[in-house]
Amino acid sequence: MENDDFDAIKRLIEKTLHIKCQNYKEAYIRRRLLSRMRSSGCDTYDAYLRYLRENPAEFELLRNALTINVTEFYRDPEVFDLVHRELFPTILKNRGRIRLWCAGCSSGEEAYTLAILLAETLGISNTRNATIYATDIDEMVLARAKEGVYDPKALTKVPEALVRKHLIRREDGLFEVRPHLRSMIRFSRHDLMTGQPIARYLDMVSCRNVTIYFTEEQKNDLTRLFHSALTPGGFYVMGKTEYLAREVDHLFRTHNSVQKVFIREG
| Site for ligand SAM, rule CB under 6 A | 68-71, 75, 104-106, 110, 136-138, 141, 191-193, 208-210
- Report the distance separating Cα 14 and Cα 63, nearest Å: 11
Q: How far is the CB of 200 from ligand SAM (least distance, A)?
A: 18
φ and ψ at residue 173, rounded to 5 degrees: 90, -10
Beta carbon nearer to ligand SAM, 45 or 236: 236
Beta carbon nearer to ligand SAM, 63 or 255: 63
Q: How far is the CB of 63 from ligand SAM (least distance, A)?
A: 12
Beta carbon nearer to ligand SAM, 3 or 215: 215
Q: What ranges in 148-215 are assigned the alpha helix state H?
A: 160-166, 179-182
Q: How many CA atoms lie within 13 A of 20 on its CB side?
A: 2
Number of H helices, E strands in the chain: 11, 10
Beta carbon nearer to ligand SAM, 13 or 192: 192
Q: How far is the CB of 148 from ligand SAM (least distance, A)?
A: 15
Q: How far is the CB of 37 from ligand SAM (least distance, A)?
A: 19
CA dihedral 203, 73, 69, 32 (to 10 degrees): 180
Q: What kind and span of H or E run contains 238?
A: strand 230-238
Q: What kind and span of H or E run contains 29?
A: helix 26-39
Beta carbon nearer to ligand SAM, 114 or 122: 114
- Report the distance separating Cα 107 and Cα 20, nearest Å: 19
Q: How far apart are the first and last CA of the chain?
A: 61
Q: How far is the CB of 116 from ligand SAM (least distance, A)?
A: 15
Q: How far is the CB of 69 from ligand SAM (least distance, A)?
A: 4
Beta carbon nearer to ligand SAM, 68 or 163: 68
Number of Cβ atoms within 10 Å of the Cβ of 103: 24
